[in-house]
Each structure stands twice: as structure tokens, then as C-alpha cells.
Chain A
Amino acid sequence: MIDTWQSLLLGFQVALQPENLGLALAGALLGTIVGVLPGIGPIGGIAILLPLTFRLPPASAMIMLTAVYYGTMYGGSTTSILMNVPGEASSVVTSFDGYAMARQGRAGPALAVAAVGSFIAGTLSILALTFFSPLVANWGLTFGPPEYFGLMLFGLSAVSSLAGDSLIKALLSMGFGLMLATVGTDLVTGVPRFTFGIPYLLDGIDFVVVVIGLFAISEVLASVEDTGELRFPVKLERIWLSVRDFAESFWAIIRGSVIGFYIGILPAAGATIASFLSYSVEKQLARDPSTFGRGDIRGVAAPESANNAAAVGNMIPMLTLGIPGSSTTALMMGALLVLNVFPGPTLFKEHPDVVWGLVASMYVSNLVLLILNLPLVGLFVRILYIPERLLLPLILSICVIGTYAVNFSAFDLLTMTALGLVAYAMRKNDFPLGPAILGLVLGDLMEQNLRRALIMSRGSIDIFFTRPVTAVLIVLSVLSLFTPVLLALLRRRRANEGHPRTMA
């Protein structure tokens, strides 16, 4: 326990250095702007801002990225409340009651409760993370290569089973990510793989290039079709939360935080599920559920708290075991790998400044966002008025500059452009992109652990079934693939019974 406090203190020393504090501020501001920008979602936004962090030391880079991440989430809920345009799946629920409130002229309290709820949820779950993650990391230290392979398999299959509507498309997307991960020289044997004799490909395809291509470029291309139509946000008065509103939403915030945190820890069941679940819990607990969907403040407080808490909970498996549970944490993990920091149980010993600096910076970013957002939201709303037809070309140009800055290579630009087209086609045909990014990040590590495990067992695959943790993980992986099939069967049965259920 004392160790944890000391480490956290070290974290705050790192996070509160003037330079890092400045980066957190800049990150939160940039993140919010990007989150609000039409035509580019949070993941695309983080992808574009990734190259900015590569000249920084690892701890500072992670601090800035965390702030960006938090900022994009906040920006996402702002557009969700004001314009009924959720930037990402996890803020879809927020728009049910948030936009209804905004139309009743209560946009101020809706935005304020989102900010306050996120702040409380963020702080509570970071406290939980502070004490939880060393325990998980210690447990993780007992893991060998077979367990890691099992964990990664579980992470991949769980994420695929919950992404999008079609399991097969999610698996194909994951396979695409894994394929990209195999490009380049094989680390063990030195054999060049899928390089087609092109020297640029010997080192593999750079993570940033793939992420910008897959998420940012394709997102811009996909939003070209919408540029004709301008959505004007509703009028905004003072952003303030009255004592009555706060009292009404307090328990929703607390419940949302707890639900969000625990759901966040589970792989794949990230912010989206947490926000939907907390919303339906509130609705069921409410004396008069019919107010939900018509501008009930609890309907904003609960999902906003839950998705923030889930974002923190998501960090636990990523930092302690090296298993990202969502596309965003996969992105953060990829950034760490680029910085030569390897997430996993040993991270807490090898890079305490990075881990604890990051944890402390979450506290700081939370506070920065609360202070920054309430007064500045009027400014962010102005950004919503910029027409997309002006923004989209500029965003593309920034993507090109960002990608070029990674290796100063024109080949990277071509790769990015090509991947952008592939991802655009994937979007248009309902292939989820999340599993691809997870496959890309985990591909190398998975292969390495598979190899090490087979060396341990002298080539026998029995090792995956005789070690209890590994066996359980493999069974879970298989089971998770059947979850969507079971859910679909249940849904069909329910529909046949003639009880059409609403979304929540």
C-alpha cells in the first residue's frame, strides 16, 4: 500500500512538471477541438495527433496522449448533446436525453452534468486503478508465454465478437490487421516477409502510417458525402449545474462510475457497453421511466460517467498485461510500443515514471478538462459552425504532414493513401475497423509468445491445454465467438414472441 502511495507521488512529480502540465493542457485543448470537429472522430483525431508526441520523452508523450484522449471524449459528448451527432458509439446514448434537453433549452445543464459526471467518474476510477493495477501486474508476473498467447487470443476474439453486426466481418477485419503486422523482417529468423523486394517494407509498416490511413483518411472520405448538409447546433446559454440538478444526478453518476469501471476492465466490453448498460440501469431504477429519452438529466449523467470510468478501466489490462481492450487503448499501446516502452507486468518495475506519470496525469487531465471546458464550451461550439467542405481538405493535409514527419518518407504517404481507400471500402461495407487495429498491435506479440510457448513445450501444442490459466483463456476465446450467435438467436426468439424491445 505504502509503495503505491510513494509511486503515485512519483507520478505526480512527473505530471506536475511545468513542461508536462503544459502538454496536458495543450493535449486536452487539442483533443477537445478534434473531438468537436465534424468529419473526424476521436480515434482518427488521436491518430492525427500521434506524430506530435514522438519527439517527446515517453512519460511526456503518454501524458499528452492521455489528455488528448480525454479531450476527444469530452468533445464527442458535446456534439452529441448539442447536435445529436455522436462522435463515437460510446456517446450515442448521451444523445438520447442530452439532445432532448438541449432542445428544451437545457443544453447548459446537460453539458455541465456531462463534465461534472465525467470528472467524478474519472477521479473515482483512477483511484481504483491506482490500487488495482499493481495487483493485476503482480498476478501477471506469474504468466509465461502460453498464458500471454491465451490472453491475446481472448482479447482478439472478445473484441471481434462485439464489434459491429457481423462476426465474420469483424474476424476478417482482425485478420487484415494481423496480416499487416506480419509485413517486414521476421525477428527470429531474419526472413523478409511480404516485402515484395521493396526495401522500405523490411522494417514493417509503421504503426502511425496504418492508423492515420485506416482511421483518419477513411473517416474524411466517408464524411465527404455529408458536406452538403449543415447541421446547426441549438442555442446555448450559461453552462451551469444547479444544486437541484446535481442532487438529482448524483447517484446516477456514482452508479455509472462503478458500472463503467468494471465493464471497462473486461476486454472488448468497453465504453459503449458501459454507457448503454448504465443508462438502462438508471431507467429501470427510476420511479417514472417514461421521462427517459425526453430530457432526463440522469440519462446524460449515467452514460457520460460510465464511458469515462470505462476508459480508465480499459487502461488496466493494457498497462498491466499488455492486452488492449478497445481500439483506443490499442492505439495508446501502439504509441507506447513506438516509444520502445512495452506494456505488461514488468512495465511497473522498468518504467515507473511512465506508468505513474500517466496515472497522475489522468487526475490532472480530468481537472484541466473541467476547468477548461465549462468556460470554453462556447468557443468549441463555434468550431461546429465551420463548414466541413473547408475542414476536410485541411484535415487531409495535416494527415499527410503527420505521416511524412514519422520517417520523412514519401513511401509512407503512398501506404497511408492506399490504406485509406481500403478502410473507406471497409466502412462502406460495414466492416468494423476496431479489430484491425487490435490485430495490428497484437500480431507481433502474439507470434512471439506462440513461438516461445512452443519452444518451451518442444513443439507440442499440449502446452495450451495443460496449463490451467491458458486452457481457461482458450475456452473463453472460443465461447466469446459464440456470444453474438447466441444473442442473435435470443433476439429472434424475442421478436417472434411479439415483444419488440426498445434500444435501452
Chain B
Amino acid sequence: MTAERGPVARTLQRGGRSDRFAAVIIFILSALYTRYAVTFQPRFFRSEALGPATFPLMIGGLMLICSTILFIQSLGKVTAGQGTRWAQYVPALVLWLLLLGYSITFDLLGFPVSTGLFLLGALWLLGVRPWWKAVFYALAFTIAAWYVFTTLDVRLPRGEWFRR
């Protein structure tokens, strides 16, 4: 049984502090969105009943109102005793960083190199040991995926650096 799934754990997790934080971030982003929307001017005709800005402004308004309500609601909530344990998010965030690196290098290094590196890193991060097992799985999947997808006519990049 995981601690997270029970209803009690859920109420504990939903602390007021994280809601307040979320509300502030959303409010700022929505304000920027709304500010950007105001600048949209139709180039050709002005008699249009609904310009390019109206609908985004409606959405922006909704977001500003809702995030304010979320902020007010969060004031009444008590944050769980332990507070947020950032350590529990670290593996997911590191995996995300690896994914970011993978996305950036996908075109540059090409599919085989970037995929191999990403898988090796991710498998190691998630605890696949000893190292040769991680290498084996990374290689096996990269080769299999390359074969399957090129057969399916999906053009995977060979890598800008190797083109010359």
C-alpha cells in the first residue's frame, strides 16, 4: 500500500502553502497572458464583432479571478505538519532534466547517440545495476527502436554532427 493513495494522506498532502504558491504563479502568468492579449490588433478590418483579443481576454479574466479565489481559499487551509518534502521530487526532476537534455540533443547528436545516452542515464538513475545491465538494455532498445521505426518509414535523425 502506498502512502499516497489513501484519502487521509491526500488531505495531508494538499497543504495550503502549495495552493497559495500555485495561485500566485498562475496569477502572474495569467496577468502576463492578458497583458500580451491586449496588444492584438486586427490588421485589416475593425468592424469585427469579436477581435483577436476578445476571447483571450475572457480566458485571462477567468484565470485571474479563479487564481484569486484559490489564493483566498488557501488562506483557510492548514499545511500538513511535515511540510513539503522536496527530496521526494528529486528523482522525477532529475529524470526530467535528462529528458530535457535528450530533447535538445535529439537533432544534434542524432537518434542513436542521444537515445543511448538518455537511456543509460535514466536506467542508472532509476537504480538498474550493475552498470553492464544498464548498458545492455540501453543498447538493445536503441537498436531495436531504430530498426522498427526506420522500417515503419519514420525518419529518425542521424545527427547533424555526423552528416559532414
Residues of A within 8 A of B (CB): 55, 166, 168-169, 171-172, 175-176, 178-179, 182, 186, 188-191, 193-194, 217, 220-222, 224-229, 388-390, 392-394, 396-398, 400-401, 404-405, 408, 410, 413-414, 416-417, 420-421, 424-425, 428-431, 446-447, 450-451, 454-455, 458-459
Contacts and interface: CB of A to CB of B under 8 A. Distances in A.
A431 B25 CA distance: 14
A454 B48 CA distance: 9
Nearest to A439: B59
Interface of B: 2, 10, 13-14, 18-19, 22, 26, 30, 33, 36-37, 40-45, 48-52, 55-56, 59, 62-63, 66-67, 69-70, 73, 88-89, 91-92, 95-96, 99-100, 102-104, 106-107, 111, 115, 118-119, 122-123, 126-128, 137, 141, 145, 149, 153-157
A102 B85 CA distance: 36
A405 B149 CA distance: 10
Contacts of A176: 63
Contacts of A417: 96, 99-100, 103
Contacts, number: 163
Contact of A168 (B69, B127, B156): B69
Contacts of A410: 103-104, 106-107
Nearest to A194: B36
A458 B63 CA distance: 28
A191 B49 contact: no
Contact of A226 (B2, B13, B56, B89): B2
B99 A428 contact: no
B70 A168 contact: yes
B56 A390 contact: no
A67 B106 CA distance: 31
Contacts of A229: 2
Contact of A420 (B66, B96, B156): B96
B48 to A, nearest CB: 7
A203 B48 CA distance: 22
Interface core residue of B66, B69, B70 (most chain A CB under 10 Å): B66
Nearest to A192: B40
Contact of A389 (B18, B99, B128): B128
Nearest to B33: A179
B137 A172 contact: no
A178 B2 CA distance: 34
A416 B103 contact: yes
Given A225-B88, A394-B119, A394-B141, A454 B50 contact: yes
A417 B99 CA distance: 7
Given A224-B92, A413-B103, 16 more contacts: A166-B70, A175-B63, A186-B40, A189-B44, A189-B45, A189-B51, A225-B88, A396-B118, A397-B115, A397-B118, A404-B157, A405-B154, A420-B99, A424-B92, A428-B89, A430-B13
